[in-house]
Structure 1
Amino acid sequence: MKLTRLFAVSIAVLALLSSAMLGRIVLTEWNNYGAAADGLRILQLVQKSMLAAEKLSFERGPVNGMLGDALPHQALRLQRLAAARGASDRALAELQDAVGAGPAPSAAALAALQRVRQALAAARQTVDRLAALPQEQRAPAELTATVEQMFALVPIIMETVNEFSRSSQQRYPQFSVILQNARFAVELREYAGRLGSQLTAALVARRPLDEAAQRRIQFIEGRIEQLRELIKLPTNNVATDPRLLAALRAMEQRYFGDGLALVAGMVEASRAGRPYLMDTGQFAERYVPTMAPILRVRDVLLEASLEQAQQAYHTARRQLLLACATGALTLLVLAVLALIVRRRVIRPLLWATRALVNLSNGDLASEVRGTRRRDEVGDLLRALVALRAGALDKRRLEQERQQLMEELRRSADTDYLTGILNRRAFTAAGQQRMRGAQENDLSLAVILFDIDHFKSVNDCHGHDAGDQVLIRVAALVRHELRDGEILARYGGEEFVVMPAYCDLNAARVVAERLRRAIEAEPLPLVDGHILRITASFGVAAASGERAALDGLFHAADLALYRAKHLGRNRVEG
Structure 2
Amino acid sequence: MRLTRLFTLISAILALLVCGVQGRSLWAEWRQYQAAEQGLQALQLVSASMRVAEKLSVERGPSNAVMGDGHPAAPAKQERLRTARNDTNAVLRQLQQQLSHGNTVPAHQLAGLELALREARRNVDQLAAQPPSSRTPAQLDAAVERMYALVPLALDAVTEATRASEQAYPRITRVLVKARLAVELREYAGRLGSTLTAPLATAQALGSAQQQRLQFLRGRLEQLRQLIKMANNDADQAVHIQAAVARMDSDYFEAGQRIISEVEQASSNGPRDSMARHYSMDTAQFAQRYVPTMTPILAVRDALLQEAEHQAQAEFARARHELSWAMLNGAAILLVLVTLLVIVRVRVVAPLLRATRAVVRLGNGDYTPPSRISRRRDEIGDMLRALATLRENSMERQRLEQERARLIEELKIRADTDYLTGILNRRAFATAGNLRLRGAREKDESLAVILFDIDHFKSVNDCYGHDAGDQVLIRIAEVVRSTLRDGEILARYGGEEFVVMPSFCGLEAARALAERLRVAIEQEPLTLSDGYILRVTASFGVAVAHGPHAALDDLFHSADLALYRAKSQGRNRVEAQL
Q: TM-score, normalised by structure 2?
A: 0.51
Provide the C-alpha distance between the structure 2 equivalents of 1:240 and 1:82, rounded to a whole number of angstroms.
Answer: 40
Please name the residue that 1:569 is paired with.
none
SS of 1:181's equivalent in the other structure is helix
Q: 2:114 aligns with which of 88, 101, 117?
A: 117
> Does the 8 Å CA contact 1:238/1:304 hold for their aligned counterparts?
yes
Task: Structure 2: give runs of 5+ residues left out of the alignment.
Answer: 1-14, 271-276, 337-578
Provide the C-alpha distance between the structure 1 equivalents of 2:160 and 2:309, rounded to a whole number of angstroms.
Answer: 17
SS of 1:253's equivalent in the other structure is helix
Instruction: Describe how 1:174-573 pairs up with structure 2 within 5 A.
Output: 174-273=171-270, 275-324=278-327
Provide the C-alpha distance between the structure 2 equivalents of 1:330 and 1:177, rounded to a whole number of angstroms.
Answer: 40
Q: 1:153 aligns with which of 150, 153, 159?
A: 150
Provide the C-alpha distance between the structure 2 equivalents of 1:115 and 1:74, rounded to a whole number of angstroms.
Answer: 32
Provide the C-alpha distance between the structure 2 equivalents of 1:171 and 1:156, rounded to a whole number of angstroms.
Answer: 24
Structure 1 position 299, deviation (Å): 1.1
Structure 1 position 36, deviation (Å): 0.8
Structure 1 position 264, deviation (Å): 0.7
> Does the 8 Å CA contact 1:65/1:281 hold for their aligned counterparts?
yes
Please name the residue that 1:132 is paired with.
129
Provide the C-alpha distance between the structure 2 equivalents of 1:183 and 1:169, rounded to a whole number of angstroms.
Answer: 13
SS of 1:99's equivalent in the other structure is helix
Please name the residue that 1:35 is paired with.
35
Structure 1 position 172, deviation (Å): 2.2
Structure 1 position 74, deviation (Å): 2.0
SS of 2:133's equivalent in the other structure is helix
Provide the C-alpha distance between the structure 2 equivalents of 1:298 and 1:163, rounded to a whole number of angstroms.
Answer: 20
Please name the residue that 2:367 is paired with.
none
Provide the C-alpha distance between the structure 2 equivalents of 1:181 and 1:135, rounded to a whole number of angstroms.
Answer: 41
Please name the residue that 1:85 is paired with.
85
Structure 1 position 113, deviation (Å): 1.4
SS of 1:157's equivalent in the other structure is helix
Q: TM-score, normalised by structure 1?
A: 0.52
Structure 1 position 156, deviation (Å): 1.7
SS of 1:276's equivalent in the other structure is coil
Structure 1 position 87, deviation (Å): 1.3
SS of 2:39's equivalent in the other structure is helix
Provide the C-alpha distance between the structure 2 equivalents of 1:181 and 1:162, rounded to a whole number of angstroms.
Answer: 15
| Greater CA drift, 150-159 or 165-174 | 165-174
- Evaluate the alpha carbon distance shift between residue 260 and residue 329 of structure 1 in structure 2; reply closer, same or farther with a 3 A threshold: same
RMSD: 2.5
Provide the C-alpha distance between the structure 2 equivalents of 1:30 and 1:328, rounded to a whole number of angstroms.
Answer: 16
Provide the C-alpha distance between the structure 1 equivalents of 2:76 and 2:257, rounded to a whole number of angstroms.
Answer: 26
Q: Which residue identity is paired with 1:79?
A: E
% of aligned pairs identical? 46
Q: Which residue identity is paired with 2:154?
A: I
Q: Which residue identity is paired with 1:44?
A: Q
1:168 and 2:177 aligned: no
> Does the 8 Å CA contact 1:50/1:161 hold for their aligned counterparts?
no
Provide the C-alpha distance between the structure 2 equivalents of 1:223 and 1:298, rounded to a whole number of angstroms.
Answer: 17
> Does the 8 Å CA contact 2:72/2:128 hold for their aligned counterparts?
no
- Evaluate the alpha carbon distance shift between residue 166 and residue 20 of structure 1 in structure 2; reply closer, same or farther with a 3 A threshold: closer
| Greater CA drift, 318-327 or 52-61 | 318-327
> Does the 8 Å CA contact 1:45/1:95 hold for their aligned counterparts?
yes
> Does the 8 Å CA contact 2:169/2:315 hold for their aligned counterparts?
no
Provide the C-alpha distance between the structure 2 equivalents of 1:29 and 1:58, rounded to a whole number of angstroms.
Answer: 43
Provide the C-alpha distance between the structure 2 equivalents of 1:285 and 1:244, rounded to a whole number of angstroms.
Answer: 26
Q: Deviations over 1:526-562 (max 9, x none)?
A: xxxxxxxxxxxxxxxxxxxxxxxxxxxxxxxxxxxxx
Structure whose alpha-carbon radius of gyration is higher: 2
Please name the residue that 1:561 is paired with.
none
Structure 1 position 37, deviation (Å): 0.5
SS of 2:56's equivalent in the other structure is helix
Q: Deviations over 1:374-407 (max 9, x none)?
A: xxxxxxxxxxxxxxxxxxxxxxxxxxxxxxxxxx
SS of 2:299's equivalent in the other structure is helix
Structure 1 position 296, deviation (Å): 0.9
Provide the C-alpha distance between the structure 1 equivalents of 2:330 and 2:164, rounded to a whole number of angstroms.
Answer: 34
> Does the 8 Å CA contact 1:188/1:228 hold for their aligned counterparts?
yes
- Evaluate the alpha carbon distance shift between residue 264 and residue 163 of structure 1 in structure 2; reply closer, same or farther with a 3 A threshold: farther
Provide the C-alpha distance between the structure 2 equivalents of 1:220 and 1:229, rounded to a whole number of angstroms.
Answer: 14
> Does the 8 Å CA contact 1:178/1:235 hold for their aligned counterparts?
no
| Greater CA drift, 209-218 or 58-67 | 209-218
Please name the residue that 1:66 is paired with.
66
Q: Deviations over 1:134-178 (max 9, x none)?
A: 222212211111111111111222223544333322222222221
Task: Structure 1: give runs of 5+ residues left out of the alignment.
Answer: 1-15, 334-573
Provide the C-alpha distance between the structure 2 equivalents of 1:236 and 1:161, rounded to a whole number of angstroms.
Answer: 25
Structure 1 position 317, deviation (Å): 1.4
Q: Which residue identity is paired with 1:156?
A: L
Structure 1 position 20, deviation (Å): 6.2
Q: Which residue identity is paired with 2:217?
A: I
Provide the C-alpha distance between the structure 1 equivalents of 2:134 and 2:37, rounded to a whole number of angstroms.
Answer: 55
SS of 2:204's equivalent in the other structure is coil
Q: Which residue identity is paired with 1:280?
A: T
> Does the 8 Å CA contact 1:178/1:301 hold for their aligned counterparts?
yes
Q: Which residue identity is paired with 1:129?
A: Q
> Does the 8 Å CA contact 1:143/1:200 hold for their aligned counterparts?
yes
SS of 1:278's equivalent in the other structure is coil
SS of 2:157's equivalent in the other structure is helix
Provide the C-alpha distance between the structure 1 equivalents of 2:287 and 2:251, rounded to a whole number of angstroms.
Answer: 15
Structure 1 position 52, deviation (Å): 1.0
Q: Which residue identity is paired with 2:34?
A: G
SS of 2:293's equivalent in the other structure is helix
